[in-house]
Amino acid sequence: MTLRISTAQMHYNALATMRERQNEIGKLQQQIASGVKLTRGADNPTGIADAQQIQHVLASLDQFGSNSTLLGDRLRQQESALADAGDQLQRARDLAIQATNGTLNDKDRHAIAVELRGLRASMLQVANRDDGRGRQLFAGTQDGVKPFSDASGSVSYLGNDGQNTVDVAPDVALADTDAGSRVFMDVTTGDGISRARAAAGNTGSGVLDSTQILNSSTWNGATLQLRFTSSSNYDVVDGSGNPLSPPVSGTWTSGQAITAQGVQFVVTGNPAAGDSFKLERAPNQDVFATLKQLADVLDTPGSTPADVARRSNGLRAGLEDITSAQQHLLDVRSETGIRSANLDSADAMRGANTVAMTDILSGLRDTDLADAVSRLQYNMTALDAAQRMMARLQSSSLFDKL
């Protein structure tokens, strides 16, 4: 079999080779200039699909980053607000301790009460802070409302009890700022477990010096009342006024400890017949009411032994409630710090994922300059050789052989 190659066929092959090299050179020049090697799906269909998928992942990570920035800012603002509220409670506590000085007169106590009311107003401003973007810090999940309103000395909460969660990394969602109802309204009183108070109608000079839960298994949280049937006799009854079983009663002298159902009362002074002191499970109360009650106690005039005892009992109760509120705010602040630390960990994880995905995308999409330049030089050399061959073919003729 004889294979014949015509001059036309040789010209066609040389021209096809030149065109192929020119196309390859153009593609490589574009890759070098743009820095991107995936310009057409036909070049690498699998690579294009993988690159697009990674780009979607990176876009999600970028959105997580924006969420994290916003959440981190709000958590820092909440921590700052809680620190300011804590400072105000500490000042209120200092003032309450100052007010226990027996040498103060009504004018001195009124001045302290005025400052306490100023602290309460400042606390209300803290509770109504926004994040600088038009959203309240302590409104729960309800936007567009001022969460706390003060009317006739009573503060109402207009937000809700919800708490948003924010996605800050793949499979990681963290809680936003706390609802104001939890931070400022549902605050434990007393020692956080029990609360003891002197009855408002007491007429003697008896002062509740202390109460203590001696045995938590014996005291089941029921309300107990220490009543004085005379200046030297007492009995202890339940919250409804019924005698305990077995009954608890006896004679009493100032400072004597009285124990019933795992609870100890210590009263000093001279209670009058009918005076009473009650211990109950500690209820929750808003911090604004705590400050108002303390200011009202100090603004109550009078210098009789009963007046002095009433103020002493009120100051003791107010100090106890403020101390409990301080601990409550510290607990919320601690939880805020934990969320901030978790946010930092999520940011680190997300950053590592972003770096890894970016490296993978770069390997798929970005031009390897050394390889591209080498291939460009090779194709330019091949094109030059093809052009020379074409020139030789064009100049060749059978007449050259004659």
pLDDT at 355: 85
pLDDT at 374: 64
CA angle, 81 then 83 then 85, to 5°: 70
pLDDT at 354: 85
pLDDT at 16: 65
pLDDT tens digits for range 58-93: 898 899 999 999 999 999 999 999 999 999 999 999
Percent of the chain with pLDDT over 70: 78
pLDDT at 299: 93
Q: Are the beta carbons of 29 and 39 closer than 8 angstroms?
A: no
pLDDT tens digits for range 347-361: 999 989 888 887 776
pLDDT at 393: 59
pLDDT at 235: 97
Within 10 angstroms of residue 77's Cβ, the number of other Cβ atoms is 17
Low-confidence ranges of the chain (pLDDT < 70): 1-45, 47-48, 51, 361-402
Which domains can be identified in the chain, with CATH numbers? Answer: 56-189+322-353 (1.20.1330.10), 200-281 (no CATH)
